[in-house]
Structure 1
């Protein structure tokens, strides 16, 4: 079963088109041929790959994993509210499937049960192969699982393991809390036993009754009484001392006033002195407008101020003492009085003032201290601590019961998850073994060698060494002539590891033998080094004998080699194009570039020192020019030889004579000279008769000699001169060379 028709409407970069006005985007693949599509990066070629994967698998695994989004990303913003975007695939046995998005629901029409679970393996994209190249064993296991299409299984294992670890951690944490709390309770019980022995010594056998009579609420109140009493006494005595000093200073001030002239003028002198100091540029009196000698006035004021210095100093001392007075003495008095009243320690007259209250406190100070000592003794505090520990133990026992219930629950959860995980392990190992069974080491080795054809480094055997229990994986490889295996990741280059990953994917497809004989490959050249592209295409050609190939590429050279390798009647070729109305659409590819265009590319690849590519495009240019002139002179080619017709066959068909016969602007001598330039070149001698025009001639071959850069450069020059000669002949220009 192969794909015959692809219809995409409103998916990814394909705009939604109403069937009533125009057809949706349609790609036809006649007779189940191969499908080759070229498009530069960003033009949307991968949208076809994604759309087909969604149609066949129901999701686009790589995109979901990369973007961490759901399937909604596949529907584009150009859809109308009433649109029902879909992908329809029609197969060569007239069966079809349609996957559609309508009313926020995805539906699948698969009347003949075409789709099977293993079809996801038919999709090969660069990212999956690239992830295979890993250094660490755990990464290699992860990437190998993804390579086999086991992403969901791997993710489920990761989530289940995370859940199992979380359950075990939660159980361990609660178990630790339970054990710690149990130890705390035992420690408190031991402390209580010591306190009970102490109480028996102090209170005797009736200690329980004695400690039950203690009012613990008064302990804090007595502590407060001690603090407030000491604060009140200290503040009151400080206040009395300050008041006494103020009275003394006021007496001194009064005595000075008696021996000094009017002291009321002192403030005025101070203000005048300050004013003149701030107005040192004053020339006239601001009141009478008389002339002022500033220095004289300032000196007089200074002398006046000094004469009253003693008076000022005492005045300042009084002000400082007044500021240091205790402002809270009334508050201290009321607060202490309330505490004493609360404890009913003294009979206090409600109208008592601060002074009398102070005297009362001083008189009863010993009595109050004794009461405070009795009610805040260490024995009393130990009794209080005893009851607090009893309450703490009861609280912790309740917590312990709760933890015991949680511990039992977590144990059940942990055991259940562990049981599920163990059952899953059996399923996972079974699935891995199933996938490994589909990876034939013999086929992997064969495919790998076909993609990596070298003279001295042929691989004799590739093995997959797995340790499923420890999630460890190792690819070991043995070269021809060697007796030992080596770790492939350590000795193979990145490009060769990619080839190994590619071989694994293809082997899996071959072994699974899906009813859909189509392999979809997105940009294989970016996962495979350029040096392997020739042999990769050669292998794809042989693979195409069994499978329909859908290959998308943004590498123009790879695309051109591909389309010039496969027989023209075995594939359909399209190029991506974009327009504002339809979005992504496809047009038939113009495969036959001009001879001059091929030769220009040959020159560019020569500059990049890619001799194989330069050689390829040079030969394509020569071939295009020969075919063009052969068409014009109407050379007859036997039907049975069309697929294997060579340059030598064209020459044997007497193309030279036909050119001279049709174009009178040249002659036999000139024509022979131009052809002789090509025929005598060492480069062409191995190609002229041995290889068909459009197949094996484009590839390195064991029978073909190797050429240097200078030789390839000379070949390009030679072909350029030959092409120019043919162009001039066809244009009717005079090219005759006199003998």
Structure 2
């Protein structure tokens, strides 16, 4: 897929406006495609490889773009269907098997793991020349993927086709012609998964659906340009020489500039010394700051003074203590008043609690009295209503309680602050009489503790008096600490001032040293340049041609990558151009059982960045919705399938190869998709090759079609493997079409089995095709009788009802006799349906011993009548 798509991209470069160098890069990529595909942008793998390839092949690679491989996309007598496939050894086929595909419909059934995918990959390789799964699994050598693992051999599959003139001809792989013949279930799965992810990824929907993921990844791994990290675009020697010449020119300028710098520095030193003190020189200033062997210097002295620690303040004051005392006393007094009021209202508080309790049980017993369980409709007074009214009256009690609670909180906070002051005093003053008054966590200071502070101690003083004295003492200590801190701040300010001067001294000294060194170096560089750089000058001259070529390579590469990305981004729009109406028609066919309001009026596919998959419904065709927001995953899958099938139709592909639709389609859409494929006109005349692992799906397809059409199809069954490591195929598998199976049993004189299949056929025809036929041309409303609520529809009753509808004069089908006649023949067998055969048809029978034999002639007539009905409805 990558190679084929890249070859199509190359054709866009066949223009006189495209520089030859860009085509040269494109040909280098083509020539080394297998080596480049596995490389990514990680650590520059891809771009480094491109540089190495371009440097090696630039002069030998051509600029002409080779045409697409010799493929005939428009043939005088194009292939209209496949006739046969000879495959093996190939993937799961250890030896050759030949499949007769000479039918418009090829149906292949087999459980998972029996080899259906190997069959489809043989078709894919024979038609396209590649296998997408091998590419996705990173097989660099396609043969390694295709060869049989047990035989370690591989033979090219041989495909024979029938052209429009009816002639047999071998098919040559033609990716451009047959690429849209395949409907991949994995792509539909990926389409639905991406659709379930972030909207930013919706632009990938179309690329994923058409299998362009690998090509997109291949394109993304080209970095936009080649920079100087990977290729020399300036000339390493020339740059080195240029830098040195700049150094030489700079050295002369530097010599001049640094001599001026030295003169400027002398003046700045004088100014700095006079800024510090008018009567001092720069050298004296340096000595005064930094000291000498005998004296440490002013900065060191201040640093030593500032090393001395000052104590931490206690931050307690007599004023704060007094305010705290007054607050506690006031709040205690107010609390006593509030508690007195609450005591007076004690009976009301009890009633309030009672009413609150009644209100709380209302949710658990909303319809009965909570005390006596009497229904509320019978009580004189509703207890819940009465409780609510009384609680409203007692609202002032809640206010009293809240006020008391708030006062208790304020008192508690004040006592906490007071206990912290006591703890501070005890921590800072030793042998403290307040030690016994400390409150150690988790205990809390309470009113009793407050009262204890005002009781006299053994020394005659109360703890409160000691506390007041100690707080005053600590407050005085804090004042002394403030004075020491102020002195320290003054010294700190002076130290910072001196350090500022010291930093300026260091800067001037550093500049002086730098200028001295620069003067010496510049003088030496000027003296030695010509001798030292003779070889470098010669090398710089020699590399000019290489650098010029590298710049051309880098420019051509950037232009190539830009055009490749433009091609990639335009692919989705090209692939789905003019598909909208067909997609809508197919989607609505898939969802024909939905209401008309849920079917689509139009669809906008995401073709560019930031576009979303938009749909409009028939009920409101002007309003568009984000499809991912309003559709289920099953409907999203239907859109993906509709796009692929629409492309198949748009390209007039002769084939439709669908690998295992059971996996790609949800249960609710399988019947309608079968009808779209085989019953509608979309794919008339197109050869359909379909594989599936669901036996019911396989059976339903064969019974959706007429027996005549099924007899013309080619069914195969892939069987579970036994001991042999080879795909087992039943080329003569038993028919799943009930009428064909019934005829087959009848031919073998297996009368009972023929009748059993006839019952299946009758049930399928009446409940499906015949009833639908009646609805199309007449009144499809039937009146059916059932023996019990679990009974199945009796087929005799159903058939008679349908016969009566068809026989009416107003039935619209003018050619109804072709169906009515065999239906009446069928019902006429056995009179009123009492024959053994009809009893069996009507409801089947259990196994019984010594049963009377079924009449072969009657069963034959049944099978014939069913075949006639099926043929007429086919």
Paired position in structure 1 for 2:728: 585
Alpha-carbon distance in structure 2 between the residues aligned to 1:179 and 1:500: 60
Which of 53, 67, 74 matches 2:146? 74
Paired position in structure 2 for 1:34: 105
SS of the residue corresponding to residue 178 of structure 2 reads: helix
Paired position in structure 2 for 1:418: 558
Question: Unpaired runs of 5+ in structure 1?
Answer: 17-23, 99-109, 203-376, 596-626, 651-673, 693-718, 734-739
- Residue 93 (structure 2) pairs with residue 14 (structure 1): yes
Alpha-carbon distance in structure 2 between the residues aligned to 1:193 and 1:679: 108
Paired position in structure 1 for 2:811: none
Q: TM-score scaled to structure 1, two decimals?
A: 0.50
Alpha-carbon distance in structure 1 between the residues aligned to 2:583 and 2:258: 86
Residues 1:729 and 1:495: Cα distance change in structure 2 (over 3 Å): same
- Residue 656 (structure 2) pairs with residue 519 (structure 1): yes
Alpha-carbon distance in structure 2 between the residues aligned to 1:124 and 1:156: 23
Residues 1:687 and 1:445: Cα distance change in structure 2 (over 3 Å): farther
Report if aligned partners of 2:91, 2:118 keep a CA contact under 8 Å in 1.
yes
Paired position in structure 2 for 1:164: 224
Task: Give, in angstroms, the shift of residue 184 of structure 1.
Answer: 9.3
Task: Give, in angstroms, the shift of residue 6 of structure 1.
Answer: 1.9
SS of the residue corresponding to residue 112 of structure 2 reads: coil
Which of 598, 602, 610 matches 1:461? 602
Residues 1:429 and 1:557: Cα distance change in structure 2 (over 3 Å): same
Task: Give, in angstroms, the shift of residue 549 of structure 1.
Answer: 1.4
Count residues with an aligned counterpart: 445
Task: Give, in angstroms, the shift of residue 580 of structure 1.
Answer: 4.6
Paired position in structure 2 for 1:536: 673
SS of the residue corresponding to residue 114 of structure 2 reads: coil
SS of the residue corresponding to residue 157 of structure 2 reads: strand
Report if aligned partners of 2:703, 2:738 keep a CA contact under 8 Å in 1.
no
Alpha-carbon distance in structure 2 between the residues aligned to 1:396 and 1:489: 69
Which of 79, 97, 101 matches 1:25? 97
Report if aligned partners of 1:132, 1:501 keep a CA contact under 8 Å in 2.
yes
SS of the residue corresponding to residue 113 of structure 2 reads: coil
Residues 1:62 and 1:473: Cα distance change in structure 2 (over 3 Å): farther
Residues 1:393 and 1:122: Cα distance change in structure 2 (over 3 Å): farther
Task: Give, in angstroms, the shift of residue 77 of structure 1.
Answer: 3.0
Report if aligned partners of 1:126, 1:524 keep a CA contact under 8 Å in 2.
yes
Larger Rg: 1
Report if aligned partners of 2:110, 2:717 keep a CA contact under 8 Å in 1.
yes
Report if aligned partners of 2:662, 2:694 keep a CA contact under 8 Å in 1.
yes
Q: TM-score scaled to structure 2, two decimals?
A: 0.43
Alpha-carbon distance in structure 2 between the residues aligned to 1:185 and 1:199: 21
SS of the residue corresponding to residue 98 of structure 2 reads: strand
Residues 1:168 and 1:523: Cα distance change in structure 2 (over 3 Å): farther
Question: Unpaired runs of 5+ in structure 2?
Answer: 1-79, 263-512, 740-749, 771-784, 804-838, 854-874
Residues 1:200 and 1:61: Cα distance change in structure 2 (over 3 Å): closer
Report if aligned partners of 2:114, 2:728 keep a CA contact under 8 Å in 1.
no
Alpha-carbon distance in structure 1 between the residues aligned to 2:764 and 2:211: 41
Report if aligned partners of 2:148, 2:154 keep a CA contact under 8 Å in 1.
no
Alpha-carbon distance in structure 1 between the residues aligned to 2:571 and 2:157: 31
Residues 1:171 and 1:526: Cα distance change in structure 2 (over 3 Å): same
Alpha-carbon distance in structure 1 between the residues aligned to 2:686 and 2:704: 16
Alpha-carbon distance in structure 1 between the residues aligned to 2:769 and 2:617: 41
Residues 1:635 and 1:581: Cα distance change in structure 2 (over 3 Å): closer
Alpha-carbon distance in structure 2 between the residues aligned to 1:385 and 1:128: 70
Task: Give, in angstroms, the shift of residue 442 of structure 1.
Answer: 0.6
Alpha-carbon distance in structure 2 between the residues aligned to 1:634 and 1:46: 31
Task: Give, in angstroms, the shift of residue 511 of structure 1.
Answer: 0.5
Deviations 1:365-390 (CA, angstroms, capped at 9, x unpaired):
xxxxxxxxxxxx99996665335655
Q: Which is worse superposed, 445-454 or 63-72?
A: 63-72
Alpha-carbon distance in structure 2 between the residues aligned to 1:506 and 1:457: 21
Alpha-carbon distance in structure 2 between the residues aligned to 1:554 and 1:88: 25
Task: Give, in angstroms, the shift of residue 551 of structure 1.
Answer: 1.1
Alpha-carbon distance in structure 2 between the residues aligned to 1:430 and 1:553: 34
Task: Give, in angstroms, the shift of residue 199 of structure 1.
Answer: 7.0
Residues 1:68 and 1:185: Cα distance change in structure 2 (over 3 Å): farther
Task: Give, in angstroms, the shift of residue 501 of structure 1.
Answer: 0.8
Paired position in structure 2 for 1:213: none
Paired position in structure 2 for 1:329: none
SS of the residue corresponding to residue 734 of structure 2 reads: coil
- Residue 690 (structure 2) pairs with residue 546 (structure 1): no
Report if aligned partners of 1:124, 1:505 keep a CA contact under 8 Å in 2.
yes
Residues 1:127 and 1:644: Cα distance change in structure 2 (over 3 Å): closer
- Residue 649 (structure 2) pairs with residue 510 (structure 1): yes
Alpha-carbon distance in structure 1 between the residues aligned to 2:796 and 2:763: 21
Paired position in structure 1 for 2:704: 565
Which of 622, 628, 643 matches 1:489? 628
